[in-house]
Amino acid sequence: MPVNGERLSPLEMLARLVAFDTESDTSNTALIDMVGAYLDGWGVPTRRFPNAAGDKVALFATLGPAGDGGVVLSGHTDVVPVTGPPWTSDPFRLRVEGGRAYGRGAVDMKGFCALALALVPDMLAAGLTRPIHLLLSYDEETTCLGSMDAIARFGEDLPRPGACIVGEPTGLDVADAHKSIVTCLTTVHGREAHSSRPELGANAVSAACDLVASLNRIADRMIERGDASGRFDPPATTIHVGTIRGGTARNILARECRFHWEYRGLPDLDPGEIPRLFAGAVAEVTALRLNRYGAFGRIDTLEEVDIPGLAPDPGSEAERLALRLAGRNRTVAMPFATEAGRFQAAGIPTVVCGPGDIAQAHQPDEFITLEALADGERFIRRLIAECAA
């Protein structure tokens, strides 16, 4: 074992990770450089996967023997912005108080990353017979695309894992299912005219309102259908319109109106169903509202994000492993999306299981309890023991 490696406790490693501002619109390269230097100190080689701009990087490392069949511990390095209500301390300086460690990303999900990294010396000392892989990604909070370049290399110039554990905060419950998320921007293009002469133009705001009403009706259909599995809360595919902007004055037909919307689909949702239903509404609104008096307008929709859901895979290697490590006897379903669906889509058995409470994520004064960190440490130590057996 290298003698120049630096030993850090999970809390010390968490403090280092939190100190980097890795909001999703910010580079994470400084954090990855730090992690790379730490792993290099322990003689652990790493692979880096930068984005096209070169300002964000995913990192992959293997502990133990080379070859397929290992276990991936996956965590993202990006965090949500520090906005809204003020923090009571610097969000990028870990504060430990009252049994809690406060900082942006402390629970979502630098806590899990810190545990995996801090236990690298123990992985090396254990004499692993089955590899443990670490994958630190970026852009999970926006697109979940930051892990994709590494995933695409599995079975090629990276070993193909036999299981993946995505360490999002679940209180160490083992989640084998979560919803997908698709986000869209719809732009309605109309034609300006004086409001006293509506036949001379096309009101983009009115057309957009019709489309939002159509989405509400589609949402009602999803609610009526419900959740056949009985596992999700809320128990349905959901549709949400988050922003709408358009028009220039009260007495002018709006030239343009834009709205952002999303849907979060149950794992059994046909991925083409909501786009088909919305396309039907677009065709009707275009003909009957937007172009009632002439070919004055059009409607465009840009799909911005498409994150696959995680479908149950009963008895999978990842499920059985995580249940043993966490001491649980059943799986749960989660309403939020993660990178897990990306791994599953690549054929890697995957579950979501990590320390902490998701209710603390994305909040001012975000925190993870020291008890949760200790539980997470025991979880990973059990994994080390299994992979060394």
Q: How confident is the model over 340-366, as pLDDT tens digits?
A: 999 999 999 999 999 999 999 999 999
Residue 312 has pLDDT above 60, yes or no: yes
Beta bridge partners of 166: 74, 352
pLDDT surpasses 90 at 199: yes
Question: What mean pLDDT is reported for the chain?
Answer: 96
Active-site residue numbers?
78, 140
213 has pLDDT over 90: yes
Confidence grade of residue 2 (pLDDT, cut at 50, 70, 90): very low
CA distance 121 to 373: 18
Q: Token pair of 233, please?
A: 């809360």
What is the Cα–Cα distance from 166 to 121, expressed in whole angstroms?
Answer: 21
pLDDT surpasses 50 at 242 = yes
CA distance 188 to 353: 42
Q: Which domains does the chain have, with CATH numbers?
A: 10-178+310-388 (3.40.630.10), 181-307 (3.30.70.360)
pLDDT band at 336 (very low <50, low <70, confident <90, very high): confident
Within 10 angstroms of residue 315's Cβ, the number of other Cβ atoms is 8
Its sign, for the CA torsion 324, 369, 107, 133, is negative
94/15 Cα distance (integer angstroms): 5
pLDDT at residue 125, rounded to an integer:
96
pLDDT of residue 387: 98
pLDDT of residue 4: 63
- Statement: residue 173 has pLDDT above 60: yes
pLDDT of residue 36 exceeding 70, the answer is yes
* Cα-based angle 327, 141, 229 (whole degrees, multiple of 5): 50
pLDDT of residue 83: 85
Rounded-to-integer distance, Cα 359 and Cα 176, Å:
19
**Section 248-275 average pLDDT:** 97
